[in-house]
Amino acid sequence: MSGAASESWIPSTRADSGRGFGLDHLPIGSFAAEGRGRRLGIRIGDEVLDLSRAEEAGLFSSLGEHERMTLREPVLNALLALGSHAWSRVWDRTRELLSAPCGTLREHPDRGSIMLPVWGVSMRVPAHIGDYTDFYASLHHATNVGSMFRPDNPLLPNWKHVPIGYHGRGSSIVPTGTPVRRPSGQRKPPDATEPLFGPSQSMDHELELGFLVGPGNAQGQPLTMDEASQRIFGVMLVNDWSARDIQAWEYQPLGPFLAKNFATSVAGWVTPISALNAAKRPGPPRSAGDPAPMPYLSSPSDWGLDIDVQVWIQSALMREKGMAAVQLSSGNYGDMFWTPSQMLAHHASGGCNMQPGDLFASGTISGPTKGSRGCMLELTWRGAEPMALPDGTERKFLLDGDEVTLRGSAPGCAGGRLSLGECTGRIEPACAANG
């Protein structure tokens, strides 16, 4: 993405709107709308550019054929496979069409079918996600969780040497707004002698950033740090829902399984990495005594991201009383110990072949203060310190009817802030057959 123009002819992008979806952002997603099937769109202000209709109208004729054809796809995978040079050409042309000096789209006779109001579209998962990996990249989160279960040894010896992750379930990734059914599984209450099967009693959210992979690598061929950096297309908010009581029973010796595979919510809008150039920061400094990253995890051009993130909650009773959602926590992605490029380079270091549309997520984003903890497990310290809600109830973990919304923002290349697309999900009761 080249330098962003400062003004668009779209009214809702004016400086006083404060929405964070201007010309220096242009997030992309997959959507459906009345009268047209699933397709790709780029958001500008409160409107969505239907890329398929725009391409059919000849508005992207300056691009190569392969680039144009990817705009007619219902998901991002074909565009992701083309790489960063093609991405730049698509976004440069889009920015030109939407900038104030250009009348090509503004005066087009079919503009009404090419541009749609954002309230008239329904977001889908932006890509066909063949594989999903969730990391554990926050030092604060890992230390907090370790302190609960291993007070004398909270951080395991390998943690600062290697990015820790587990293989998630691509088939249960759902778009923002999709209800999330409480899972059932085996759990062993502290006072029980034997495990039992039933609905989780410790449902939790996890505030994360997800990263979509562009061009892949051949099986057996690792990625350097610089190659990994070039293969990250964009970021979106991710809620990796967790059933903590099921997790506590099943995670030894091989890690999470049913506690994580029932649902992962993703935002509908993907912010291109190129729109986050003003948010890029050097990787987090290491403390005295910390091991230096191994050579395959080191690069002088590595970067972290200055992205503010928040978690909001609205209970069923709050909705009944007309009460707005309240903020549970607020943190910053810059507090993470491992960078996106380190996570991707490590993922491929053993020869794993990444593919366009693969998703990897950061793990819970937590900071050094209680108010910056990114999940209920930490916020309530495993239920020992319940949180009060304005409806007069308390939460140790999430209850049925609770709606959790993740929000984020980052400095924009043209000044001001970009708003990441929200990620929302509401807990529904467990399936009756398992209740």
User: Measured over all CA atoms, what is the biggest interatomic distance in the chain, rounded to whole angstroms?
Assistant: 73
How many domains would you assign to the chain? Answer: 2
Does some domain include residue 2? no
Domain match, 202 and 116 both = no
Same domain, 316 and 418: yes
Q: How many residues does the chain have?
A: 435
- Residue 17 clears pLDDT 70, i.e. is over it: no
pLDDT in tens, 80-109: 999 999 999 999 999 999 999 999 999 999
In this predicted structure, the answer to whether residue 79 has a pLDDT above a threshold of 90 is: yes
Long-range contacts of 223-227, Cβ-Cβ distance < 8 Å, separation of 24 or more? 223/344, 223/345, 223/348, 223/349, 223/354, 224/296, 224/299, 224/345, 225/296, 225/297, 225/298, 225/299, 225/301, 225/302, 225/341, 225/342, 225/345, 226/299, 226/301, 226/341, 227/345
Residue 3 belongs to some domain of the structure:
no
303/385 same-domain check: yes
CB 260 within 8 A of CB 166: yes
**Amino acid 337: pLDDT:** 97
Query: What is the per-residue pLDDT across 308-336, written as a single tens digit (0 to 9) for each?
Result: 999 999 999 999 999 999 999 999 999 99
Q: How far is CA 276 from the centre of its chain?
A: 14
Residue linked to tokens 């949180």: 387
Average pLDDT, the chain: 95
Mean pLDDT of 122-130: 97
Instruction: Render pLDDT for 200-257 as a digit per residue (tens, 0 to 9).
Output: 999 999 999 999 999 999 999 999 999 999 999 999 999 999 999 999 999 988 889 9
CATH number at residue 331: 3.90.850.10
pLDDT category at 19 given cuts 50, 70, 90 is confident
- CA separation for the pair 236, 139 (Å, rounded): 21
pLDDT tens for each residue of 375-399:
999 999 999 999 999 999 999 999 9
User: Are 195 and 98 contained in the same domain?
Assistant: no
What is the DSSP secondary-structure string of 350-407? TS----TT-EEE------SSGGG--SHHHHTTTTTSPEE-TTS-EESSB-TT-EEEEE
In a domain, 101, yes or no: yes
Residue 164: per-residue pLDDT: 97
Answer with the one of 70, 99, 124 that is the final residue of a domain: 124
pLDDT digits (tens, 9 = 90+) for 21-71: 999 999 999 999 999 999 999 999 999 999 999 999 999 999 999 999 999
Q: Are residues 230 and 290 in the same domain?
A: yes
Q: Are residues 112 and 184 in the same domain?
A: no
State how far Cα 193 lies from the chain centre: 39
| CATH number, domain with residue 31 | 2.30.30.230
Which of 124, 143, 169 marks a domain boundary?
A: 124
Asked if residue 343 belongs to a domain, the reply is: yes
Residue 203: which of 221, 220, 227, 187 has the closest Cα? Answer: 187
Radius of gyration of the chain from its Cα atoms, rounded to whole angstroms: 22
Tell whether 73 is covered by a domain: yes
Question: Among this protein's residues, is 85 annotated catalytic?
Answer: no
**Per-residue pLDDT at 252:** 86
Task: Find, among 331, 272, 332, the residue nearest to 304 by Cα.
Answer: 332
Catalytic member of 85, 128, 140, 141 = 141
In a domain, 5, yes or no: no
Domain assignment present for residue 165? The answer is: yes
The residue type found at 408 is G
Q: Which of 105, 124, 143 is the last residue of a domain?
A: 124
Residue 5 has pLDDT above 70, yes or no: no
Task: Decide which of 3 and 388 is more confident.
Answer: 388
- Does the pLDDT of residue 4 top 90, yes or no? no
Domain interval for residue 15? 11-124
pTM over 0.85: yes
The proportion of the chain whose per-residue pLDDT surpasses 90, expressed as a percent, equals 91
* Predicted local distance difference test score (pLDDT) of residue 3: 47
What pLDDT score was predicted for residue 1? Answer: 46
| Structural domain includes residue 6 | no
pLDDT at position 149, please?
87
Q: Residue 2 — pLDDT band, cuts 50, 70, 90?
A: very low
Shared domain check, 183 and 106: no
- DSSP, collapsed to helix, strand or coil, labels residue 148 as helix
Looking at the structure, tell me whether residues 340 and 274 fall in a common domain.
yes
